[in-house]
Structure 1
Amino acid sequence: MSCSPEEWQTRVDLAAAYRLVALFHWDDLVFTHISARVPGEDDAFLINPYGMLFEEITASSLVKVDSQGNKLSDSTYPVNPAGFVIHSAIHSARHDVQCVLHTHTLNGVAVSAQREGVLPISQQSIFVLSSLGYHDYEGVALRDDEKPRLVQDLGDCSYLMLRNHGLLTVGKTIADAFQAMYLFESVCAIQIRAQAGGGELVRVPSAIISTARQQAAQVTKGMGGNLAWPGLRRRLDREMPGYAI
């Protein structure tokens, strides 16, 4: 297909993210979505062709749309209307964000149904809690009037728990959004298992949580998701190749 080198690289990375979500079993048939802003185009982003399994998605199959939902590239597939509402709202408001990733995993939805949400009971949880918002459930996200509330609840956070619905992460890169989701999903899985154990849970002190962002920068050497991304791509090339076409 014809596009700029920058758009093609974004397409390859986004297709890789879709395949990795499938590889990690975070997909929900065809009913969740990841989007990425097209470099150099303020009003254009890429999203999945609605109807393709995540394990089938390739760089060239991604659909390019504008903030009004108009297709900017040829595709026989539609765009998930709920996906468009959520992702267009965030891309329009958060110009610091390239990628928005949303899942409906069993662990994520289970924790999203709990009144307290994420509990400070693991090392992983402190990083999520340092940049976490919550958005109350309003039904399937089909209405434009939900957009301002969604954006307000996300604020400048990297993590958003959609109550009774699932998880959402944003990142300055596709790699950052993916790594954030890996952490968010891990936090939820740990919480559900800890609660299932039946014992009293030990909470991390709030003073430690307040320094989590600085600790995260040290752990990733300031590289964020890009520290793990090359290795994830190598794993994908071994186990689920064919996305970069």
Structure 2
Amino acid sequence: MTEFLTTPQGRRIAYNRLPGTGPGIVFLGGFKSDMQGSKALFLQDWAAAQGRAFLRFDYSGHGQSSGDFEEGCIGDWAADARAAIEALTEGPQVLVGSSMGGWIALLLARGLPDRVAGLVGIAAAPDFTARTWAEDLTDAQRAEVTARGRIEIPSDYSDQPYVFTRRLFDDGAQNLVLDRPLSLPFPARFLQGTADTDVPPAVALALLDHATGPDLRLTLVKGADHRFSTPDCLALIAASVADVLARPPA
């Protein structure tokens, strides 16, 4: 059953929560996705079968939560995630972050270290706004963002384009994780498809190279795309979560 949490910032966040043993699992969705996606629902069913606590939610401006997507930014969505974890879970959690959710998970690992037992990144996209600005936009598109405050970029996954705002770019630059040391003192598993055109394998390799920790692993799946939601990919996600849970705490 969907419930709602009002965050300290006054945003109304929709969530679904399963009771169970800890460490619990928290699913962090991607940019413009919601908690009804195949990976979130698959993990909820898996957690239920394990008797494991599980939480999924919609960031503000996403899904059933309050707010306008175009007014949001990485800092807002990271704050939503922190509020959900602090209010709706107990003890350390295993964070499972998909795409932008991988960036959010890394921000939580930095800002809320005592509540993170482990991390699984699925096509994690740390600092993607900075890469989009520097590498994907033309000079004309950057000028459009500066002048109009927004730009539309076609999406491979929807008829509706992605909207990138100047606030999203400006705030993203204040929430980078690859521009300074990134300590992950817990088991972390990064899963990446070689056919992912949204978050290329080079991003996963750079993240693995940059982060420090006692138990970091990257798995490349040949031919998998950004969705990473085939039956084999979903099984690999569950196996990775199980592996993290089986590791002794740091």
TM-score scaled by length of structure 1: 0.29
Bigger fraction of residues in strand: 2
Bigger fraction of residues in helix: 1
TM-score scaled by length of structure 2: 0.28
Q: Per chain length, whose mean CA-contact separation is higher, i.e. which structure has more relative contact order (CA < 8 Å, sep 6+)?
A: 1
